[in-house]
Amino acid sequence: MSRWMVWLLVISLPLTVIGEWLHWSEILLFWLACLAIIPLAGLMGQATESIAILSGPRIGGLLNATFGNAVELIIGFFAIRQGLVQVVQASLTGSILGNLLLVAGLSFLIGGIRYPIQTFNRLAAGTNASMMLIGVVIALVIPAIFTLQRPAIGVELSVGVAAITWVLYLLGLFFSLFTHRNIFNYAQDLPDEEAPWGMARSVGVLVVATLAVAYESEILVGTIEHVSKAFGWSDVFIGVIVVAIIGNAAEHSSAVLMAWRDRMDVSLEIAIGSSLQIAMFVAPLLVFTSLAVGNPMTLVFSWPEIAAMVLGVALITLLSLDGKSNWLEGAMALGAYVIMGIGFYLI
Amino acid sequence: MSRWMVWLLVISLPLTVIGEWLHWSEILLFWLACLAIIPLAGLMGQATESIAILSGPRIGGLLNATFGNAVELIIGFFAIRQGLVQVVQASLTGSILGNLLLVAGLSFLIGGIRYPIQTFNRLAAGTNASMMLIGVVIALVIPAIFTLQRPAIGVELSVGVAAITWVLYLLGLFFSLFTHRNIFNYAQDLPDEEAPWGMARSVGVLVVATLAVAYESEILVGTIEHVSKAFGWSDVFIGVIVVAIIGNAAEHSSAVLMAWRDRMDVSLEIAIGSSLQIAMFVAPLLVFTSLAVGNPMTLVFSWPEIAAMVLGVALITLLSLDGKSNWLEGAMALGAYVIMGIGFYLI
Amino acid sequence: MSRWMVWLLVISLPLTVIGEWLHWSEILLFWLACLAIIPLAGLMGQATESIAILSGPRIGGLLNATFGNAVELIIGFFAIRQGLVQVVQASLTGSILGNLLLVAGLSFLIGGIRYPIQTFNRLAAGTNASMMLIGVVIALVIPAIFTLQRPAIGVELSVGVAAITWVLYLLGLFFSLFTHRNIFNYAQDLPDEEAPWGMARSVGVLVVATLAVAYESEILVGTIEHVSKAFGWSDVFIGVIVVAIIGNAAEHSSAVLMAWRDRMDVSLEIAIGSSLQIAMFVAPLLVFTSLAVGNPMTLVFSWPEIAAMVLGVALITLLSLDGKSNWLEGAMALGAYVIMGIGFYLI
């Protein structure tokens, strides 16, 4: 973890505790919680990564692919408990768009400034594109269009869709970690990575950071309404842009770093793998959780959210299917992200 | 024809005749007609195939490409005469989805269990994908969106679209059987297939089976309303799932068998070729017939039907464009089929 | 310029002047203006081309890519000043569809009659496809869907989207003319083209032809309403089909000629490059101009226009991504153009 992340943590975490105790303004608490979650998410990521390396490639891959977006899951849980279902949907949208367009776009652009053309695994890109089509596009368009005719079926249909995408995600893991591991074998070409920490320390860090994230998430969720009133921002804008970015900032920076080192496969694995994880693992879990908690969240997203995600998937599919990237492709993905950001800001 | 198909025929066909004579319940008659049509469709397919082999590759290809879905056409004709236009649209939707997702999905999955990666003709896949884009996506989206603004133009626009897609289908046959036959030449690499029957017997079987299918279709169509009331199923669900499956069951099983034998080209030709035939040959003919009969059927499908077909085409295009398949791709196509099936069941 | 174009010019230009002076019927004036603009657009194109050749490949490429659709811009300017915002949107739609489907379709078809399979630059096709996705699809779908929820944001959102697509277009030029010129280097493989005219004559012709186009455009725009009443055509149909074709007819014929000579790269560069120019350079400029003039034009197009453009882009992307074409692909593109033409005629 870089030095400024440590400083961010050391300053913002105690301040949130003090601030909550002294009843500081909700708006201040919201931003403090945001700032605290960024390095905590980084810590959790590093601890998970460390445990994954120590557990060998298969169990490690499984760990990364299931706990990699734990922060999203925790924030989503508290938001659902508060009944902020729209904010959760918006933050899922924002995470998917952020990973697909912002992270992949920055990676293409930054890497493309240094290398005229960068290449990556076409086969993996094809499998990922098909998974995104079913996990993002089909899983969101079908509920939205079928409930136009009969809104009452929203919950049932969402549960069915969530169950199937969840199973497909697990089958996808089985495919990439077991039956067709050789297609995704770029990890084996890398120099042996050493785990930064031992197992005991990693587990300890993971547990403590998770508890701290849960604490901060509760504050964040509890203050969203005040921020939305004070700044005149919609819940959706806060979810799509603010909440989505803080949960992924640490991961984002490492994707861009990998692009700069011409390891575009790793970059794209972070960007696209993380989108898939949110759409096919986190979102279904939140649907099931929401039913258990009694505030049912459906997969019936708003049309702007659906349009943005479908177009984002289409753009990244087109940009990645040829297995090559350049700076202009990065600029296009970023341009699309800005266009959508303006849209979500204005509505 | 396999032994159990013969038994199915020998039992269900006489029972429908007796049942109609003795005025058995409509629901029983519906299921008997369903069971009778499955082997009859298989017989018709085998007779057509046999005549096609005896007629040489060009005339044979033409025969397969025009009479291959005669059962659909016959059921559609009786349903239109009864005014069940929505059921016809639903059964067209169901046939296209069933061929694209269920048959291709099962073929990818079953073949993929035996072989890690199966390959097929990329060039043919590309031509097929473009044909599906125009014959399914454009031909369905344009009427639906343009009639939003002026519903009155539905019939005229549908006739225009039907005429153009029909001509394109014939041009496509001319392309694959004459001017660019070498691209589609996998049939020539096969060991010489022998026609199972002689010409006279084939024509005889075809005529008798066609008459029997017509008889059973009339019963099927006449009892649909009772079934939909008794089971609480919508006309659309019966059309999409039940009617669509019985008309194609025999064909479906041979596609999967071919995948198991690693002849994925033949599998995909059945799955995608049959979808194209229904969308670009059968559907236009039914539009023209419906005008002649006086119960005009448009190409203005419902939004759930359109969404399901557009997404199905997109998924199969993405899965087939690289000319390779594996079991996960099969699972994805089946997952999409189940998601859509749940949707049609719930509305 | 071919002989009949010269004759067209020599007859129609003086007749418009005389006709306006003698107050001939508006309908006659409309058709005279149409006929005059076709050769004038051709002259402007030839003069621009000539200056481009004399200026070297980079400045020349820049000139072609910015002044290549000046006629569209001039007609659009006068139509916006008259408040005919819908006609401008329709003519933009028509130009994009005409270039994508009519020109590319004719090129594929005519070239495909002579050569069984023609090939072209796959890399350029991929970059163009991504640009069309962002410049046509995203730039049109996002405003239309986001304003469903809040119509008031139409102008602001359109300005934002226009600004970003405009910048992306310029970045695309920088990419193809400077940083990645070698990908687009087919122009260098051609035999050295000689400029038909010297610099002074080219500039002179350009200035005179531009003035004449401006004169004719004002007449054209002023008489559209009468034509739409007299023929019972909607403004949209006139914009999509009539206005769009006359502004591009000269260019269209040279694209088809290039296909006939098996220089499909040049053909596609004209067809797709021109579409991109209209969507990402001309349309944004007209949005900005419309604000300055006080008749704000948004990028919120009608659903039929959006559907037609999205499907057109999808079809051309699918047809061009493999870097190969044949006559059937041409027939498909033309079929799609006719389907859409029927639709726009009927509404």
Range B303-308 average pLDDT: 94
Cβ neighbours of A142 in B, within 8 Å: 307-308, 311, 339-340, 343
Q: What is the residue type of B94?
A: G
C180 vs A116, A304, A332: nearest CB: A116
First to last CA, chain C: 37
CB contact under 8 A, A161 and B327: no
Interface of C with A in 140-169 (CB under 8 A): 141-143, 145-146, 148-150, 153, 156-157, 160-161, 164-165, 167-168
- Residue matched to tokens 């400045």: C59
State residue A188's pLDDT score.
Answer: 45
State residue C158's pLDDT score.
Answer: 95
* Chain C residue with Cα closest to A113: C179
CB contact under 8 A, C148 and A303: yes
Q: What percent of chain C has pLDDT over 90?
A: 53
Shortest alpha-carbon distance between residue A146 and chain B (Å): 6
B328 vs A127, A153, A317: nearest CB: A127
A138 vs B319, B331, B339: nearest CB: B339
CB contact under 8 A, B338 and A164: yes
CA–CA separation, A291 and A236 (whole Å): 22
Q: What percent of chain C has pLDDT over 70?
A: 97
H/E stretch holding C3: helix C3-21
Who contacts A196 (Cβ-Cβ below 8 Å, separation ≥6)?
A: A46, A49, A50
Cβ neighbours of C126 in A, within 8 Å: 318, 322
- Interchain contact A292–B (C-beta under 8 A): no
State residue A191's pLDDT score.
Answer: 47
CB contact under 8 A, A146 and B318: no
Range C86-98 average pLDDT: 91
Q: What is the mean pLDDT of chain B?
A: 88
* R_g of chain B computed on alpha carbons: 19
Please say if the pLDDT value at position C339 is more than 70: yes
Shortest alpha-carbon distance between residue C261 and chain B (Å): 20
CATH superfamily of C3-346: NCX, central ion-binding region (1.20.1420.30)
CB contact under 8 A, A318 and C127: no
Query: Please, are residues A47 and A203 in contact by the beta-carbon 8 Å criterion?
Result: yes
CA–CA separation, A139 and B94 (whole Å): 19
Q: Which of B240, B328, B344 to mutate to test the interface with A (most CBs of A within 10 A)?
A: B328
Nearest Cα neighbor of C126 from C204, C179, C82, C180 is C180
Cβ neighbours of B336 in A, within 8 Å: 134, 138
State the pLDDT confidence band at C232, using cuts at 50, 70 and 90. Answer: confident
* R_g of chain C computed on alpha carbons: 19
* Chain C residue with Cα closest to A305: C146
DSSP-derived pairing of the beta strands B324-325 and B118-119: antiparallel
pLDDT tens, residue by residue, A243-265: 788 877 877 888 888 899 998 88
Of A45 and C187, the structure prediction assigns the larger pLDDT to A45
C319 vs B130, B157, B180: nearest CB: B130
- Interchain contact B311–A (C-beta under 8 A): yes
Q: What is the mean pLDDT of chain C?
A: 88
Q: Which of C127, C128, C132, C134 to mutate to test the interface with A (most CBs of A within 10 A)?
A: C134
CB contact under 8 A, B343 and A133: no
Which residue stretches of chain B are H helix? 3-21, 26-54, 57-67, 70-81, 85-97, 104-114, 122-132, 139-149, 154-174, 186-189, 199-231, 235-237, 244-260, 264-277, 283-293, 303-320, 327-346
H/E stretch holding C218: helix C199-231
State residue B190's pLDDT score.
Answer: 47
Tell me the three state secondary structure of residue A164: helix
Beta-carbon count within 10 A of C161 CB: 28
Range A195-214 average pLDDT: 89
Longest dimension (CA), chain B: 56
Q: What is the residue type of A185?
A: N
State residue A313's pLDDT score.
Answer: 94
Query: Please, are residues B277 and B92 in contact by the beta-carbon 8 Å criterion?
Result: no
Please say if the pLDDT value at position B92 is more than 80: yes
Please say if the pLDDT value at position B187 is more than 70: no
Please say if the pLDDT value at position C189 is more than 80: no
State residue C190's pLDDT score.
Answer: 47
Please say if the pLDDT value at position A195 is more than 80: no
State residue C37's pLDDT score.
Answer: 92
Q: Which of B108, B322, B329 to mutate to test the interface with A (most CBs of A within 10 A)?
A: B322
- Interchain contact A303–B (C-beta under 8 A): no
Cβ neighbours of C322 in B, within 8 Å: 123, 126
Interface of B with C in 107-146 (CB under 8 A): 123, 126-127, 129-131, 133-134, 137-139, 141-143, 145-146
Backbone angles phi and psi of C150, in degrees to 5: -140, 90
- Interchain contact A311–B (C-beta under 8 A): no
* Chain B residue with Cα closest to A164: B335
Which residue stretches of chain A are H helix? 3-21, 26-54, 57-67, 70-81, 85-97, 104-114, 122-132, 139-149, 154-174, 186-189, 199-231, 235-237, 244-260, 264-277, 283-293, 303-320, 327-346
Q: Is B194 exposed, middle or buried (0-12, 13-18, 19+ CB in 10 A)?
A: exposed
State residue B170's pLDDT score.
Answer: 94
CA–CA separation, A240 and B307 (whole Å): 26
In chain C, beta strands by DSSP E: 118-119, 324-325
State the pLDDT confidence band at B334, using cuts at 50, 70 and 90. Answer: very high
CA distances from C223 to C38, C132, C139, C215 (A): 17, 33, 31, 13
Who contacts B232 (Cβ-Cβ below 8 Å, separation ≥6)?
A: none
Beta-carbon count within 10 A of A15 CB: 17
State residue B191's pLDDT score.
Answer: 47
CB contact under 8 A, C130 and A318: yes
Query: Please, are residues B124 and B265 in contact by the beta-carbon 8 Å criterion?
Result: yes
Burial per residue of A187-205, b for 16 or more beta-carbon CB atoms within 10 angstroms, e otherwise: eeeeeeeebebeeeebeeb
State residue C184's pLDDT score.
Answer: 67
Lowest mean pLDDT among B243-257, B299-313, C80-94: B243-257
pLDDT tens, residue by residue, A124-172: 888 888 899 988 999 999 999 999 988 899 999 999 999 999 999 999 9
Q: At what angle do helices B154-174 and B122-132 cross, to 10 degrees?
A: 160
State the pLDDT confidence band at B328, using cuts at 50, 70 and 90. Answer: very high
State residue B247's pLDDT score.
Answer: 77
State residue C185's pLDDT score.
Answer: 61
| Chain CA centroid to CA A134, Å | 17
Shortest alpha-carbon distance between residue A328 and chain C (Å): 7
| Chain CA centroid to CA C292, Å | 23
Range A93-108 average pLDDT: 92
ipTM of the complex: 0.91
Q: At what angle do helices B327-346 and B104-114 cross, to 10 degrees?
A: 150
State residue C188's pLDDT score.
Answer: 45
CB contact under 8 A, C175 and A315: no
Range B185-209 average pLDDT: 75
B347 vs A141, A153, A160: nearest CB: A153
- Interchain contact C335–B (C-beta under 8 A): yes
Query: Please, are residues B240 and B88 in contact by the beta-carbon 8 Å criterion?
Result: no
* Chain B residue with Cα closest to C336: B134
CA–CA separation, A88 and B98 (whole Å): 35
C346 vs B157, B165, B175: nearest CB: B157
Please say if the pLDDT value at position C39 is more than 70: yes
